[in-house]
């Protein structure tokens, strides 16, 4: 699973990543989320 998009802050990015890792039958998560207002 790949996460794409823009989130408001680092907390949201981490929270979404944790939730994605709890989805049944998902074996890996690639977190490509971008924190709004910050460049990666």
Task: Give tens-digit pLDDT for 1-40.
Answer: 999 999 999 999 999 999 999 999 999 999 999 999 865 5
Predicted local distance difference test score (pLDDT) of residue 39:
59
Burial 8-35 (b: 16+ CB within 10 A, else e): eeeeebeebeeebeeeeeeeebeeebee
Predicted local distance difference test score (pLDDT) of residue 32:
98
User: In Å, what is the CA distance from 7 to each residue of 24, 25, 27?
Assistant: 23, 25, 23
């Amino acid at each position: 699973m790949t996460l794409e998009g823009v989130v408001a802050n680092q907390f949201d990015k981490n929270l979404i990543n944790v939730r994605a890792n709890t989805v049944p039958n998902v074996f890996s998560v690639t977190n490509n989320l971008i924190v709004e207002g910050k460049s990666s």
